């Protein structure tokens, strides 16, 4: 995607008609070049109206993230997170993993207005739209090895749920191991990737995707029940406000997790678990699907289910749950 496309969309972000000639002149480009750049907008999930004599207008106003406002909000909260936002990237987590290997400090966060190759769990792609999603990653360094970070994705889920609740989203719950849901429909996803020595230290990159305001064309591309912040919040927060709240909540959670592990998050996570006590269908890679009932979450973050008269501990990377 060209920088000109994003620059032009910023001129159109208010949702009003703007002369193509005026936009092209302000950007130092020709009308023809501008027209070609705006033809890429549908790839970003953006619909544009072009009316002779009136110019261009977005079907819906578009809110870009205000990086300065996010950083200021984090500073007021006493956060040590260093925040950056870019227009386009393949994957914030992929790039942050590279930065981690190059020595980036703990608390480095990278957000993107649009990801071309966002990743979800089990190799799935994360579907997003410019202005309709929040996609960001956070690097956190732990002295312990990756084997001692069990429950980190669950602690992140609690932090995301708390931030959404604080921003007016009601009926927020979590789904093991890394989803946040409203009425059993996904509103946010979490992907934790770690690197480092067996005994530590460990660098963890936590990728977060939040459905903020999804248009029908985007919803049609998602293969599971989803919901967005705009349809779930009592008063819809700005994307900037919500991102700042999410980062501050994650900062507090990971600081506590670094000191005490999953223990202080276990009860809050149980209270939020949408599938607690529910009958489910367990789909494990390389195994035959079987019916079970959710019992609890273990101290290491494993999900405990009852199946065929015995208790089974499920590992987060190997299973998928479906309510039956």
To the query of whether residue 121 is one of the catalytic residues in this protein, the response is yes
Catalytic residue among 31, 122, 270, 322: 322
Catalytic residue among 57, 119, 121, 239: 121
Task: Compute the distance between CA of residue 25 and CA of residue 247 in angstroms, rounded to an integer.
Answer: 38
Q: 277: exposed, middle or buried (C-beta count within 10 Å: 0-12, 13-18, 19+)?
A: exposed
To the query of whether residue 278 is one of the catalytic residues in this protein, the response is no
Asked, as a colleague might, if the bond just before 201 is cis with ω within 30 of 0, I would say yes
Contact 138, 109 (CB under 8 A): yes
Catalytic residue among 119, 141, 186, 239: 186
Compute the CA torsion angle 233, 228, 1, 16 (nearest 10 deg).
-50
To the query of whether residue 25 is one of the catalytic residues in this protein, the response is no
DSSP 211-255: E-S--HHHHTT--S-B--STTTBSSPPPHHHHHHHHHHHHHHHHH
List, in sequence order, the alpha helices (H) in 67-177: 67-76, 92-101, 152-166
Task: Compute the distance between CA of residue 3 and CA of residue 7 in angstroms, rounded to an integer.
Answer: 6
Query: Which DSSP category does 105 fall into?
Result: P
The number of angstroms, rounded, from the C-alpha of 85 to the middle of its chain's C-alpha atoms is 14
Residues with catalytic function: 121, 186, 322
């Amino acid at each position: 995607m060209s920088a000109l496309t994003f620059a032009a969309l910023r001129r159109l972000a208010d949702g009003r008609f703007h002369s193509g000639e005026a936009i092209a002149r302000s950007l130092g480009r020709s009308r023809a070049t501008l027209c070609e750049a705006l033809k890429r907008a549908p790839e970003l999930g953006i619909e544009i109206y072009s009316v002779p004599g009136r110019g261009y207008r977005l079907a819906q106003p578009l809110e870009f993230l205000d990086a300065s406002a996010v950083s200021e909000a984090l500073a007021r909260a006493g956060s040590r997170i260093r925040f950056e936002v870019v227009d386009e990237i393949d994957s914030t987590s992929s790039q942050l993993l590279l930065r981690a290997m190059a020595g980036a400090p703990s608390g480095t966060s990278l957000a993107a207005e649009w990801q071309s190759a966002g990743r979800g769990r089990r190799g799935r792609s994360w579907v997003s739209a410019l202005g309709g999603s929040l996609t960001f990653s956070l690097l956190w360094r732990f002295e312990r090895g990756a084997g001692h970070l069990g429950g980190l994705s669950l602690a992140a889920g609690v932090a995301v749920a708390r931030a959404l609740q604080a921003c007016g989203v009601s009926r927020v719950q979590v789904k093991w191991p890394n989803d946040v849901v409203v009425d059993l429909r996904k509103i946010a996803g979490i992907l934790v990737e770690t690197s480092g020595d067996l005994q530590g230290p460990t660098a963890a990159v936590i990728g977060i995707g939040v459905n903020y305001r999804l248009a029908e064309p985007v919803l049609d591309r998602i293969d599971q029940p989803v919901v967005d912040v705009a349809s779930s919040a009592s008063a819809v927060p700005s994307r900037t406000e919500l991102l700042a709240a999410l980062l501050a909540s994650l900062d507090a959670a990971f600081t506590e997790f670094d000191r005490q592990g999953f223990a202080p998050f276990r009860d809050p996570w149980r209270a939020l678990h949408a599938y607690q006590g529910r009958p489910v269908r367990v789909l494990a890679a390389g195994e035959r699907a079987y019916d079970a009932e959710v019992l609890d979450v273990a101290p290491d973050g494993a999900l405990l289910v009852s199946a065929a008269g015995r208790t089974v501990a499920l590992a987060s990377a190997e299973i998928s749950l479906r309510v039956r």
